[in-house]
Amino acid sequence: MSSTLVIIPTYNEAENIEEIVHRVRVNVPAADVLIVDDNSPDGTGDIADGLSDDGKIWVLHRTFREGLGAAYIAGFGWGLDRQYDVLVEMDADGSHRPEELSTLLAAVEQGADLVIGSRWVRGGSVVNWPKRREILSKGGNRYARTMLGLPVRDATGGYRAFKRETLLGLDLGDVESQGYCFQVDLTRRTVGAGFTVVEVPIMFVERVRGESKMSGQIVREALWRVTAWGIRRRYRKLRSFGRNG
Ligand SMILES: Nc1nc2c(ncn2[C@@H]2O[C@H](COP(=O)(O)OP(=O)(O)OP(=O)(O)O)[C@@H](O)[C@H]2O)c(=O)[nH]1
Ligand SMILES: [Mg+2]
């Protein structure tokens, strides 16, 4: 059996952390959980410490808030050092339902190198999102897919399971993207390295408690980085066409 680590980054998730960890433990008891907390002012880190006494729940305390991307990179490093076979990304706010985790893990067992829990494939859905969030997510995905040539409907989705070998093949040391575009960045790297990506439909549920960290700055970062990656990709293609054609 593969050993699995579910990585949950947190910033001010005091109202959510206990429930989400409980749901992971109930639904996939064999998996370990790593909470990566960036010194949340609301005490999420202390609550997490209180959960971590059964040998399956771990907490990585970081001193500064550095964004979702940096938190995941730290969590991946922690898990790779400890030889986990599968590393899962999951939000703390309940949007990524632990009840669907075994579906993602089954796709890994069947051979996928990266499994994305997808809102925008047949059978996927979003619950309680305002129309503007749906438009932003669908539009952002269409833009990323076109600019980067990605064979993926939900490249910004953050509910994912990576095989350890996939992460080891991605050169995580030079990842700079922080917000949503961290997910696009990892998708693009995974596809570019020739790994297999499989999307499984999920029901994404808008958070009920706590505050979203989504911001204009996160959207702007995604837009300029995807644009820059896309231009570089086209330039490289043209150059190699010029050389070979
Ligand atoms: N460690 C850490 N976690 C973060 C940081 N920013 C966001 N998170 C966590 O990352 C997860 C996703 O953040 P959300 O605020 O839900 O953002 P989102 O899912 O993109 O936006 P919504 O769809 O509006 O919820 C949550 O568990 C957050 O607590 C950060 O800077 N550091
Ligand atoms: Mg969220």
Centre of ligand 1 to C-alpha 110, Å, is: 29
Report the alpha-carbon distance of residue 194 to residue 96 in Å, rounded: 27
What is the predicted pLDDT for the residue at 119?
Answer: 98
Comparing 5-9, 130-134, 165-169, which segment has the lowest mean pLDDT? 130-134
Cβ-Cβ contacts under 8 Å for 25 (sequence gap 6 or more): 33, 56, 57
Model pLDDT, residue 220: 94
Ligand 1 binding residues, C-beta < 6 A: 9-11, 13, 36-38, 65-68, 71, 91-93, 95, 207, 212-214
Q: How far, in Å, from the CA of 236 to the mean position of ligand 1? A: 34
Q: How confident is the model at residue 211 (pLDDT cuts 50, 70, 90)?
A: confident
Categorize the per-residue pLDDT at 212 as very low, low, confident or very high, splitting at 50, 70 and 90: confident
Q: Compute CA distances 194 → 101, 133, 191, whole Å.
A: 24, 31, 5
* Average pLDDT over all residues of the chain: 95
Tell me the pLDDT tens digit for each residue of 130-147: 999 999 999 999 999 999
Q: What is the mean pLDDT of residues 200-216?
A: 92
Residue 1: predicted pLDDT? 65
pTM of the predicted structure, to 2 decimals: 0.95
- Indicate which residue's Cα is closest to atom 24 of ligand 1: 212
CB 55 within 8 A of CB 31: no
- Position in ligand 1 atom list of the atom nearest CA 12: 29
Distances, alpha carbon 7 to alpha carbons 43, 134, 224, in Å: 18, 25, 27
